[in-house]
Structure 1
Amino acid sequence: MAVGHLNASTFEVAMLGAAVWLPWLVVGLPAGALVDRLAGKPLMVFCNVASTVLLTSVPAAVALDALTFPHLALVAFGTAVATVFFSTAYQRFLPSVVDVDFLPAANARMQGSESVAQVVGPSLGGLLAAAFGAAAGLAIDAMTFLASTACLVAIRTREPVRKAPAESLRKIPHEIAQGLRYLLRDPYLRVIAAFSASTNLAGSMLQAVLVIYLVRDLGLGEWTAGTVLSLVGVGGIAGAAVATPVARRCGTARGLLLCQLCSAPFALLMPLATPGAGLAFLVVGGAVTTAGVIAFNVVFGAFRATYVPRHLLGRVVASTRFLNYGTMPIGALLGGIVGTALGVPAALWISAAGTTAAVLILFIGPVSRQRDLPAGPAAAEDAVPKP
């Protein structure tokens, strides 16, 4: 919408990318503490309804010829706030739906489906925008939140009774600190969080300028650009499919390393893309890099669900995402600044180099020295008092 309908500049597009991830810095940590004390399903339904209303407002504004850039930025930020609460709540809700013996497998599937959706969603958005226009694509996007709500309503599981919010809201800062301390003190979680934050910083530079690169630098039409993004998204599906077999055959710790060692260097192919056959560099580089990221997320998500004590899971998830996603608005703005000052290809090269170099962080700490990650709850559980 920003590029095609409002003819936004490179930096304005980057600002939209930053708005999508900024809520993780603003409300990411309080969300974890609130989710740990609220019923998950009603909260997720509310987030879906809010996202539906916000997204529907964009095609409505287009129909009235009243769409502005601040409106787009507000929708991007608002739907992202809803995403923060929804994604944190669903991870806290899952153990209420699935018996503990099946939790690792269920979490792996949930992580896989979420990761694939995060990759395939933008790809399908590109195709919808090319086929029906970006405004219609956003209207269809809004309807998917209603479908999600219908699925949630169909779940009949009763959640455990939580503390009344009014009873302990004053404890939220303390509980936020508990989640952060647990994350930063744990030798596995802090290394993986540092790696993910660095990778996301580099990757968000690419995301911020990729559409500009395809449309303005390579001269692709909307349909071709959407097709390229969809082909890159295939890598996410492949990564989700191979994650569990790789972890089972090679070990979960080695699987994390292999996922990145074998995929991250392919990011260096993407800036080599040219119109025509040269698009293969971008498609192959993007697909393989994406496959590695998705496979990594699936293995790590399954590990975290069983490793972190249940009463801390919401806060640890929120703390992890606060660090991981908190670098993304910074990366998006950097992408816009570099793309404006030095050109979009320069931003792609810096992003690719950062993605490749970030793998070295995984060799710090115990992750690189063993075959498997711990299978049970962390030994440090007793060191953190239950709220």
Structure 2
Amino acid sequence: MPVSLSSSVGVPPDDAVEVLKVPDFRRLWAANGFRYAAAEVASFALPVTALLLLHARPLTMSLIFMCSRAGFLTIGLPAGVWIDRWRKKPVLICADIAYAAAFASVPVAYFLDALTVAQLVVVALVVSLAGVFFDVAHSSVLPYVLPRRRVADGNARLQSSETAIQAVSPSVAGVLTQSVAAPVLYCFAALSHLASLLLLRGIHPQGDIARAKRESERRFGQEIKDGIRVLFRQPLLRLLLNQAALNNIGAGILLSMLPIFLLRDIGVATWLYGLLSTLGAVAGFATSLLAPRLRRRFGEIRMTLLFSALAPFAVLAAPLAGVFRQAAVPLIAVAQVLIGIAIVGRAVSTAGLRARVTPDEYMGRVTAAYSVVIQGATPLGALAGGLLAGHWSTGTALWAGGLVMALPLVLLLLSPLRRHRTLPAEWEV
């Protein structure tokens, strides 16, 4: 059994310490905030630029969205092996550099009157690939800056800040598009990643060392298989994986089709599109503040059941907006609020569970293998959404997305976990 890192030099031994009082985590938290703000602004600017400025079609939109989420599907597994061998800090810094360069290219091309859909596809792909390394390294470095039993609280803090940023960014970006072109917003995204880079230079994860010499003696393919084996043999990891994969297929359909439905089919203004996104983020932020208390009182398993049960009802309002178009805006508003509650509530309820059941030496590979499946499901859902919308309509695609997102609850109700309040002690490492 691996030795816990909570006793490492520089990591507070007191499990009750407030995670934001740990300097390295505080810098990591702030860097993640800048990175997430950049992602939110870029995610808002992308459909506005592609649809309203470059007049992209639904299938083209789904292709752009697919490329923006294709990183884990293409290099996720080898990235997990590499990051288990490498030091995590340099990986995070290099990812920030790639992010900043890709985002900065958009306003440069716009001012040169050379911006094309093809460039947006390339930028989306580069950002997605950088995101693989950033996400896996970010998750893998947490046990090196916090005691293992505080990783869940660290994840909860990260989730709260992310939802707070998400609550502000789309509305601000929507208002800004009334006076500046959407591609200009990518300047903010690039600067945010430079700020993240400066913060990450100040962290010093204890015990995070390069293992290239020792690990190089093993076969690369065998290491990938090791991560997959741990992921599929552990009951909780397997359940969370199946649930998240189905959820993300449905989410990929909805996320790729909602901008087309709102901006093109309904014709809402960009500021209103940003406001609708903000409603869900505000609901998610409120949930992130309440959910940790509920998780401690009722148990993470019961809270996961509750929020998973809410998800099917949350997404139902989106396809209904395609039927009752006169009430489309309030219905989408309801959908955004309920989706924000369901997604954030489930994320907080399950925060730290993977870290508690995964050995340290497999953390990068398991994180990567897990992310390959769940992140790879999203672009596949986006592609399915584009095909459905092209063959039938965006409304049909929204119904399909809602139906798929109802399936994870069925898996959870059929699993033995429904009889537990908290994570069984025998599953922890």
**TM-score, normalising length from structure 1?**
0.91
TM alignment of 1:86-165, pairs within 5 A: 86-114=134-162, 125-164=173-212
Partner of 1:261: 309
**Is residue 181 of structure 1 aligned with residue 258 of structure 2?**
no
Alpha-carbon distance change, 150 to 227 in structure 1, aligned in 2, over 3 angstroms: same
Alpha-carbon distance change, 202 to 101 in structure 1, aligned in 2, over 3 angstroms: closer
Q: Which one of the candidate residues 333, 354, 379 is aligned to 1:329?
A: 379
Q: Which one of the candidate residues 221, 234, 240 is aligned to 2:288?
A: 240
Partner of 1:57: 105
Partner of 1:279: 329
**Is residue 8 of structure 1 aligned with residue 63 of structure 2?**
no
Partner of 1:384: none
| Per-residue deviation, 1:166 | 8.6
**Secondary structure at the counterpart of residue 160 of structure 1:** coil
Partner of 2:66: 18
State, as a whole percentage, how many aligned pairs show the same letter.
31
**TM-score, normalising length from structure 2?**
0.83
**Secondary structure at the counterpart of residue 53 of structure 2:** coil
Q: Which one of the candidate residues 388, 397, 402 is aligned to 1:347?
A: 397
Maintained 8 Å contact 1:38/1:165: no
Alpha-carbon distance change, 226 to 204 in structure 1, aligned in 2, over 3 angstroms: same
The letter of the residue matching 2:115 is L
Alpha-carbon distance change, 377 to 109 in structure 1, aligned in 2, over 3 angstroms: farther
The letter of the residue matching 1:300 is T
User: Greater CA deviation, 129-138 or 143-152?
Assistant: 129-138
| Per-residue deviation, 1:252 | 0.9
C-alpha separation in 2, matches of 1:271 and 1:124: 27
Maintained 8 Å contact 1:307/1:375: no
C-alpha separation in 1, matches of 2:370 and 2:284: 21
Q: Which one of the candidate residues 118, 121, 127 is aligned to 1:73?
A: 121
Q: Which one of the candidate residues 77, 81, 89 is aligned to 1:41?
A: 89
C-alpha separation in 2, matches of 1:115 and 1:175: 35
C-alpha separation in 2, matches of 1:31 and 1:238: 34
Alpha-carbon distance change, 301 to 45 in structure 1, aligned in 2, over 3 angstroms: same
C-alpha separation in 2, matches of 1:356 and 1:330: 17
The letter of the residue matching 1:328 is T
The letter of the residue matching 2:54 is L
| Matched pairs, number | 379
Alpha-carbon distance change, 247 to 143 in structure 1, aligned in 2, over 3 angstroms: same
C-alpha separation in 2, matches of 1:218 and 1:174: 51
Partner of 1:382: none
The letter of the residue matching 1:368 is R
User: Greater CA deviation, 256-265 or 12-21?
Assistant: 256-265
| Per-residue deviation, 1:118 | 6.7
Partner of 1:358: 408
**Is residue 298 of structure 1 aligned with residue 348 of structure 2?**
yes
User: Greater CA deviation, 110-119 or 47-56?
Assistant: 110-119
Maintained 8 Å contact 2:276/2:336: no
Deviations, residues 102-143 of structure 1 (Å, cap 9, x unaligned): 333223323444566578656654454445321111111111
**Secondary structure at the counterpart of residue 350 of structure 2:** helix
| Per-residue deviation, 1:181 | 0.8
C-alpha separation in 1, matches of 2:177 and 2:424: 44
Alpha-carbon distance change, 190 to 81 in structure 1, aligned in 2, over 3 angstroms: same
User: Greater CA deviation, 136-145 or 49-58?
Assistant: 136-145
Partner of 2:388: 338
| Per-residue deviation, 1:12 | 0.5
| Per-residue deviation, 1:66 | 0.7
| Per-residue deviation, 1:55 | 0.6
User: Greater CA deviation, 103-112 or 261-270?
Assistant: 103-112
Maintained 8 Å contact 1:10/1:336: yes
C-alpha separation in 2, matches of 1:228 and 1:239: 17
Maintained 8 Å contact 1:239/1:294: yes
Q: Which one of the candidate residues 202, 217, 223 is aligned to 2:265?
A: 217
